[in-house]
Amino acid sequence: MVPKVVADVLKRNESVVTQNYNSVTILFCDIQGFTKVYAYSYPEKVIQMLNSIYSRFDNIVAKYNTYRVDSIGDIFIIVSGAPEPNGNHAADICNLALDLVTANNELELVYLPGNQLKVRTGIHTGTPIGI
């Protein structure tokens, strides 16, 4: 999965030029309790749950000037400020994080009453560094 601006360049059979960014904000979001719920669920229920969560979260991501870099299991990685620079990247990510928590609180696990998934978020903002 690549950002739309990068996909557009690739569709035109052009080379993608790497860029450096002065400042970006990254949101790390994981679903606490996912493993417990997963252990007590049928596979089709897990797929339904993940589809519901990811669809809801993707709709929220689309509201902001952000890009979902990846989803690995129960972890979302979302960036703002790249690949398109954005002067409001920190505010966008913070508002997105609040929306993710609110959306999660509205999510019901109908087939597992009494179990609520919790969203944990971590945010880093500043100049990206190379390794």
Phi, psi of 36 (to 5 degrees): -65, -45
Q: pLDDT in tens for each of the 131 residues of the chain?
A: 567 777 788 889 888 877 778 889 999 988 877 777 777 778 888 788 778 888 888 899 999 988 888 777 678 889 999 888 888 899 999 999 999 988 877 776 666 666 677 888 899 998 766 54
Distance CA 9, CA 13 (A): 7
Phi, psi of 76 (to 5 degrees): -105, 140
If one counts every other C-beta atom within 10 angstroms of the C-beta of residue 25, the result is 23
Per-residue pLDDT at 129: 64
Domains of the chain listed by start with CATH number: 21-126 (3.30.70.1230)
Per-residue pLDDT at 97: 94
Per-residue pLDDT at 95: 95
CA angle 2, 47, 61 (to 5 degrees): 40
pTM of the model: 0.77
Task: List the beta bridge partners of residue 72.
Answer: 75
Q: In 25-123, which ranges are continuous DSSP H helix?
A: 34-39, 43-63, 89-105
